DNA sequence: TTTAAAAGATAGTATTGCTATCACAAATAA
DNA sequence: TTATTTGTGATAGCAATACTATCTTTTAAA
């Protein structure tokens, strides 16, 4: 049985649904590769078109601009990650065990799940680390938020926040702690690889150490006094 | 007595020292205002030149491109903040009291220190919140790091990390905790104002709550068992 | 089999991100 | 004092980016 996970995306993110055609799927696939390779700043629709073997105008029929495409990719990632979390924490009763699983899923490298789709999750994970926050660190964040572009991210935070509250119902900052561990799972990874003196993991560059750090951070915070 | 704080900047960040002339100082002053107003993405040297009343070519004589200017401004900010921290924690013996001061300085709105310089620290603080991470979230981060562009940021993290270690010498992640609280002081502020459901401060939007959250996070982590 | 939708091909335009050149004024050195 | 350097202003220009428009061909649904 070949299971195909379909993620329902916000329609305001695209002009034509990229999942509805080969060209659209190619846009997603090659944009992940190209952004990964060149970074978001020097990524252009022209280069993407050349990569795919189509024309610039062709890309513009799917996405209004590269910012929308980045928001699409990040939204897709957060939705996918929330599914992964629900799947891998299903039937776990102990919220602390659950939370540990979540932290591992957030901070561990993603193994590419080839049959899932035309999106390489492992590359996308790297994109989220380096470019993810650019999706919301803009002047249009308010507009974009009104259009619900960040719903998948907020949903994920809410899921994590709920587990935190299950661990300790008296803890006062479940949402902020949730967004902190999500952001730090990525930032500490970026720092470890690029500005290692900002972390304690510079020697080994092992993501297991990031996981240990986050576990320590979270579980001492949630310890009932 | 009018004290004038001079920050020694990395010379590779500029082509001509902006602190050495009126035009240069105007570039710094107006770039802070314009980036604050329009965001870094739509900020251009053309617009900046119009704002100042000079020409685009004039700006290019000082800075190679807008990325270098952003890195300059962030480096200036971190240097300035490190000075603030050293100044305001001077003679405090208890490292825990010191750390609390630091967290407050990181997370509290900056009151503009008019006589300090032609840079509006309060606006610059807002720029760091919204644009600061774009200084290093690029493909050139390795190159930029080699040229020591992020030294002020790393120095600040080191200072905070040292205080953390003074609080609890056995704590295993002083640097990562330092970078976490610095980043979160800014991100939680951005979230509070733009994506409030990612935080627990949405109702009141008081930065004192961010400070309380960070204090809780840090001091439970550092509690000796 | 017709007809509509998607894709390809090509053109064009405004803005961005620069570089180059020349003239002029002010500061500085001889 | 004159000569010379240095900074600034003004203008031009060019390649790349970020789109929009139109027309034709292919594909696929009715």
Is 80 exceeded by the pLDDT of residue A48? Answer: yes
> CA B45 – C1' C12 distance (Å)?
26
pLDDT band of B109, cuts 50, 70, 90: confident
Q: What is the Cα–Cα distance from B59 to B63, expressed in whole angstroms?
A: 6
pLDDT for position B118: 87
Closest residue on chain A to B192 (Cα)? A176
Is 70 exceeded by the pLDDT of residue A114? Answer: no
A194–B141 CB contact, under 8 Å:
yes
> Is the distance from CB of B101 to CB of B91 less than 8 angstroms?
no
pLDDT in tens, A155-168: 999 999 999 999 99
Nearby residues of B173 by Cβ (< 8 Å), 6 or more positions away: A200, A213, A216, A217
Question: What is the third-level CATH fold of B71-222?
Answer: Tetracycline Repressor; domain 2 (1.10.357)
Is 70 exceeded by the pLDDT of residue B153? Answer: yes
Closest residue on chain B to A157 (Cα)? B198
A126 touches chain B (CB under 8 A): no
Q: What is the Cα–Cα distance from A9 to A157, expressed in whole angstroms?
A: 18
% pLDDT > 90, chain A: 90
pLDDT for position A224: 63
B198–A180 CB contact, under 8 Å:
no
- Spell out which residues of chain B touch residue A195, defining contact as CB-CB under 8 Å: 136, 141, 145, 150, 154
A157–B198 CB contact, under 8 Å:
yes
Nearest CA-CA partner of A180 in B171, B20, B201, B37: B201
Is 60 exceeded by the pLDDT of residue B65? Answer: yes
Q: What is the Cα–Cα distance from B38 to B33, expressed in whole angstroms?
A: 9
Parse chain A into domains and list their residue ranges.
Answer: 72-222
Mean pLDDT of B110-121: 77
> Is the distance from CB of A77 to CB of A128 less than 8 angstroms?
yes
Element spanning B80, H or E: helix B66-89
B66 touches chain A (CB under 8 A): no
Best of B179, B206, B225 to mutate (most A CBs within 10 Å, chain A): B179
Mean pLDDT of A140-169: 98
| Measured CA distances, B102 to A153, A176, A218, B129, B143 (Å) | 30, 20, 21, 17, 30
Best of A35, A66, A71, A137 to mutate (most B CBs within 10 Å, chain B): A137
- Mind telling me how many Å the CA of A105 is from chain B's nearest CA? 19
| Measured CA distances, B149 to B45, B74, B76, B88, B156 (Å) | 21, 9, 10, 25, 13
CATH 1.10.3470 fits A72-222, yes or no: no
Q: What is the Cα–Cα distance from A17 to A75, expressed in whole angstroms?
A: 14
- Mind telling me how many Å the CA of B1 is from chain A's nearest CA? 38
């Amino acid at each position: 049985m070949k299971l195909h996970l379909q993620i329902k995306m916000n329609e305001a993110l695209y002009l034509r649904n990229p999942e509805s055609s080969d060209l659209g799927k190619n846009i997603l696939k090659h944009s992940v590769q190209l952004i990964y390779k060149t970074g978001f700043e020097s990524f252009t629709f022209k280069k993407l078109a050349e990569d795919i073997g189509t024309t610039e105008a062709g890309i513009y029929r799917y996405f209004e601009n590269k910012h929308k495409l980045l928001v699409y990719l990040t939204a897709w990632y957060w939705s996918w990650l929330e599914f992964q979390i629900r799947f891998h924490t299903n039937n776990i009763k102990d919220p602390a065990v659950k939370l540990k699983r979540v932290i591992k899923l957030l901070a561990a490298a993603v193994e590419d799940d080839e049959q899932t789709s035309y999106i390489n999750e492992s590359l996308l994970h790297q994109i989220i680390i380096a470019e993810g926050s650019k999706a919301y660190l803009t002047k249009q964040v308010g507009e974009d938020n009104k259009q619900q572009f960040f719903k998948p991210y907020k949903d994920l935070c809410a899921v994590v926040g709920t587990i935190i509250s299950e661990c300790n119902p008296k803890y006062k900052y479940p949402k902020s702690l949730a967004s902190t561990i999500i952001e730090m799972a990525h930032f500490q990874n970026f720092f470890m690889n690029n500005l290692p003196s900002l972390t304690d993991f510079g020697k080994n560059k092992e993501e297991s150490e990031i996981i240990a750090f986050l576990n320590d951070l979270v579980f001492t915070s949630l310890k009932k006094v």
